[in-house]
Structure 1
Amino acid sequence: MSPRLPDPKRWLVLLAVMLAFLPVVLDMTILHVAVPTLTQALEASNTQVLWIIDIYPLLMAGLLVPMGTLADRVGNRRILLSGLAIFGVASVLAAFAPNAPLLIAARVLLAAGGAMIMPCVLGIIRRTFEDETERGLALGLWGTVGAAGAAVGPLIGGALLEHFWWGSVFLINVPVMAVVLPVCWFLLPRRETITQGHWPIGQAVMLILGMIATVYAIKAGFAAKQPLTVVLLILAIGICMLSLFIRIQLRSATPMLDLSLFSRPAIVAGIIMAIVASGSLAGVELTLAQELQYVLGKTPLQAGIFLIPIMAAAALGGPVAGWLSGRFGLRAVACLSLVVSSGALAGLAAADFDDPGLVVPILLAALGLSLSIGLTASSIAIMGAADAHEAGAAGSLEATGYELGSGLGITLFGVFMSVVFGRNLALPEGVPDLLAEQAALSIGDVYITAQQLGADQGAAIIAAGKVAFSATHSVLLTTAAVLMGLLTILVYCLLHQSRPVRASHH
């Protein structure tokens, strides 16, 4: 088979799909800073707030694989254009939602639209760029948009909230969609090679419900909001559904999710890196955003500005990773990026944020750069180990890793923080038991509790809360650093067979 001539419009296609992808990642983090404003405006309960934030990455993690395989069946172009339209409509509905349940419903629609956009973007890049070096660069640029979008989310959120009402954080997607839809309509090729066969909707529902039940049980169990029997029951349902899904996949002649992809060490390494790197990035950003606002008293916008080194460096990481992998090989680049991020986390754990000097911005930049190089390296590992006809399946697997990482990162960091914070909080004498219990939940609860006490006691509780939170964030970042170190060893072992992959092994 003679190699096809590269598509002359390929860089324009890349630009179009990157623009399509940007609002999807922005929406993952733009709410981090908007939560206090939104909670008060909608009078949302704590549980409702968690669902408003989490339903998006959770549902998306469940939907990505089914949508990726659907795109392989009916063509990336159709699914991408439908996803863009749904995402635009859902953004308008979310912006003008009059109460919390309707906002949660709009976020469900946003997740559906986002899950249609994401695997198509990766599939289109994989099919448009046949050349290994060009594909590395294209995936690097794509990774940049992902990392920068997620990192800039809080900054854009903070800036919008200084001037407009909370709905503006959703409304900002609408003009982007209005530009991207017609551009993708014209640029994307009408003719695509598609996989024959029907799309198993029952398996899709099983996968989505299984994932949501399992993650919900983990969240509820750690938060101790539900009785243990309920949590265990939900967890059992989730695990049963996922096991059944896996059994059907292994027996089926045309599975929805090709589990044989997991037999390739490079793909396993890539997915583990995607989960851990995106989870760490999301968790660290959320932790720092709270430290800056609650302990150091910065506004949402100031907190966003403080985090600029992470964002700017993360934006550089993509293209750098593509170039480095080409020169030094994927294994060296992946392992080095993990070692550097481990060191940066350990440094931040010991740093003094009150007097950041040059040390803290440099450590933040090192962390952003190394994590984003790690994420791009995971893309290159996964996409390089998959053939062109497996692009959709591999792309959706990788994107599932990102979403799961972000969702679980926020959940586990949040839960871990709550436990360590409660242990470190030394309350002043004479605080009523009920209020003491509430204060021990989180730094946010300390501020709420303080308002119900006298001025002196309130001030003492806040001072204790700040000390406890600073201790907590050190423990948290140190733990993350150790995990990164262990991950380095695992990735080093998994990538030892990974040589540059041939274009096809058929």
Structure 2
Amino acid sequence: MFRRWLILAIVILIYLPVAMDATILHVAAPTLSEALALSNKELLWIIDIYSLVMAGLILPMGALGDRIGFKRLIIIGSTLFGIASVFAAFSDSAMRLIASRALLAVGAAMIIPATLSAIRNTFLEEKQRNFALGIWATVGGGGAAFGPLLGGAILGHFHWGAVFLINIPVIILVLLMTIFFVPKQKVQTTQNLNLLQALILVIAILSIIYALKTGITAFNWMSITIFTVGFALLAGFIQNQFRSASPMIDFHLFKNRFISTGIIMAIVAMMALVGFELLISQELQFVYGYTALEAGLFVLPFMLAISCGGPIASVLVNKFGLRRIATTGILLSGLSMFGLAHTDFASAQLQAWGMMILLGISVQIALLSSTAAIMSSVSPEKAAAAGAIEGMAYELGAGFGVAFFGLMLSWFYMQSIVMPSDLPQALIPAVSSSIGEAMYVANDMDISLATQIQDNAKAAFIRSHRQVLNTSGILLMILAAYVWLRLPNPHRKDRVVESLG
């Protein structure tokens, strides 16, 4: 009995830094931009490479765990995660930090299925297993939500690299506990890994996003070619999965409208959550002069709302049905975006916090509704495949959120920025690219010109922020209508309740 809960403690310890690293850099974006002289594209890659690489690798790493056992997978994944954390902490360029974050994602893609496998194989009694899974989900959601606050606290006292070094003591403790206290498991040596298909999926996703990020500032044949290659690889991957006897992703599940709708809800809800968190962290620091810690504290109501939204959502879904609650959650998320778009964070803090609380709860409702839609629509033997697809959708949503919000922000900022008349021609591309680069350029100008650059950049960012949130609100409204039409007949109540555990 004691060993079960000790294994759960190990699972929680290693899952916490994995969850936090998805969001801990959001509040550090301005600091990173200044310390490494980053372009906006480099900053976005540093942040979202983690989720995008993890999304493509998490399914085959689960199969690897079946072949070698979750103990070995935890050891290998934790070791990689620790090494990557050290590399990231001491990176002195954008490319090294991007590569380190990609390696972090490889380790994380091993750790997540290993922790779930550990719970599934350790807690054989259903009630205990559900309790352990509940703790696992709480740690994951709470870690991601409070990542920016921890990042802000660390940046207030230490070098930015410390946000990665805090992983090392946890990794060492987990490795020692795993080696000495976790028993070996039976393995399935015939399990298909699909590593080549996973690599093709990752390359396809990264190529498409790279082409979009490049095309926003320099639309040319190179960006068109890379996008075409990425799209072709993605199409080939999907075609291969349909024909494969043992696919990495069972796309036949997407024919079920509840599952396909749930996947879309999961991706969009995560995009809204992660994208908004990144955007507000930059605005608070660049525009309003908040420190990283002050920015983290400002968004604390949003984090708390996300953490507390799960129980509220489960009660509402059980009482009013999936269709109504899913649609309402997405609709309220859109209204929250509109409200935040027209809120002055400096003079109307209470209004900002109220809107953030509403957004946090409504996004969490949408996320839980997506889980209910997916898991209540499959047979027990398909539950693992559906759950794996949902997990990948969450990571894709996190990566797409950074890319989507970042691209929209860049586009609107470039359209809004007003250049000082005496700004040297060579500096215009940098100043018009992002507020971070504009602030960096201003540091080397005389006081008068620097003030103009900073004021114009802040004004452009505020206008861009409003346009991004308004656009997001419109898209969420469209999604709400789609979900209402797509889920015309609610599931039986007992199936929804079962899906919520």
- Alpha-carbon displacement from aligned partner over 1:337-365 (angstroms, at most 9, x marks no partner): 21222221111111121212422111111
TM superposition shift of 1:134: 8.2
* CA distance in structure 2 between the partners assigned to 1:160 and 1:94 by the alignment: 15
Residue aligning to 1:348: 340
Q: Name the counterpart of 2:81.
A: 87
Percentage identity across aligned positions? Answer: 43
| 2:220 paired residue number | 228
Structure 2 Cα separation of the partners of residues 130 and 212 of structure 1:
41
Q: CA deviation at 1:103?
A: 3.4
Tell me, what secondary structure is at the counterpart of 2:26? helix
Match runs of 1:26-425 below 5 Å: 26-39=20-33, 41=35, 48-72=42-66, 74-97=68-91, 99-122=93-116, 135=130, 141-181=135-175, 196-224=190-218, 228-425=220-417
Q: What TM-score, normalized by structure 2, do the two folds share?
A: 0.87
- Report the residue type matching 1:66 in the other structure: P
Tell me if the contact between 2:192 and 2:246 (Cα under 8 Å) persists in the aligned partners: no
- After superposition, residues 464-483 of structure 1 pair within 5 angstroms as 464-483=456-475
Q: Give the residue type in structure 1 aligned to 2:198.
A: A
Asked if the contact 2:266–2:370 (Cα under 8 Å) also holds between the matched residues in 1, the reply is yes
Q: Which runs of 5+ in 1 are unaligned?
A: 1-6
- Displacement of 1:265 in angstroms is 2.1
Is the 1:122–1:391 contact (alpha carbons within 8 Å) kept by the matching residues of 2? Answer: no
- Is the Cα contact below 8 Å between 1:140 and 1:321 reproduced in 2? no
What CA distance in whole angstroms lies between the structure 1 residues aligned with 2:328 and 2:389? 24
Q: How many residues align?
A: 495
C-alpha separation in 2, matches of 1:110 and 1:316: 28
RMSD of aligned alpha carbons: 3.3
Question: Shift in Å at residue 15 of structure 1?
Answer: 5.7
> SS of the residue aligned with 1:28?
coil
Q: TM-score, normalised by structure 1?
A: 0.86
SS in 1 for 2:154: helix
- The farther-off stretch of 196-205 and 10-19 is 10-19
Superposition deviation, residue 111 in structure 1: 0.7
Tell me, in whole angstroms, the C-alpha distance in 2 between the residues paired with 1:473 and 1:186.
51
**Pair 1:486-2:488 in alignment:** no
Deviations 1:247-299 (A, max 9, x none): 22111222222111212222212211111111111111111112111111111
Q: CA deviation at 1:112?
A: 0.5
What amino acid is aligned across from residue 268 of structure 1 in structure 2?
Answer: S
SS at match of 1:254: coil
The residue type paired with residue 203 of structure 1 is Q
Contact 1:87 1:113 in 2 (8 A): yes
Q: Does 1:455 align with 2:453?
A: no
Taking structure 1 as reference, are residues 117 and 321 closer, same or farther at Cα in structure 2, changes over 3 Å only? farther
Letter of the 1:215 counterpart: I
Q: Deviations over 1:75-108 (max 9, x none)?
A: 5554344323322332233324455544333322
Q: Deviation of residue 498 (structure 1)?
A: 3.6
Letter in 2 for 1:82: I
Verify the 8 A CA contact 2:69 2:184 in the aligned structure 1.
no
Which amino acid in 2 is paired with 1:213? S
Deviation at 1:182, TM superposition (A): 5.6
SS in 1 for 2:216: helix
Deviation of 1:501 (Å): 3.9
Residue range with higher mean Cα deviation, 43-52 or 456-465: 43-52
In 1, Cα distance between the equivalents of 2:50 and 2:325? 31
Letter in 2 for 1:376: L
Check conservation: 2:341, 2:465, Cα contact below 8 A.
yes
Q: Is the 8 A contact 1:71 1:392 kept in 2?
A: no
**Contact 1:122/1:395 (CA < 8 Å) preserved in 2?**
no
Whole-angstrom CA distance in 1 between matches of 2:270 and 2:452: 37
Answer with 365-374 or 67-76: which moved more.
Answer: 67-76
Check conservation: 1:139, 1:318, Cα contact below 8 A.
no
**Residue type of the partner of 1:68?**
G
Q: How far 1:71 moved relative to its partner?
A: 3.6
- The residue type equivalent to 2:166 in the other structure is I
Matched to 2:88, the amino acid is: A
Question: Following TM superposition, by how much is the alpha carbon of 1:313 offset from its aligned partner in structure 2, in angstroms?
Answer: 1.0
Determine the C-alpha separation between the residues in 2 that align with 1:157 and 1:249. Answer: 39
d(CA) in 2 for partners of 1:177 and 1:362?
38
3-state SS, counterpart of residue 32 of structure 1: coil
The change in CA–CA distance for 1:387 and 1:494 in structure 2 (over 3 A counts) is: same
Alpha-carbon offset, residue 326 of structure 1: 3.4
Q: Which residue of 2 aligns with 1:20?
A: 14
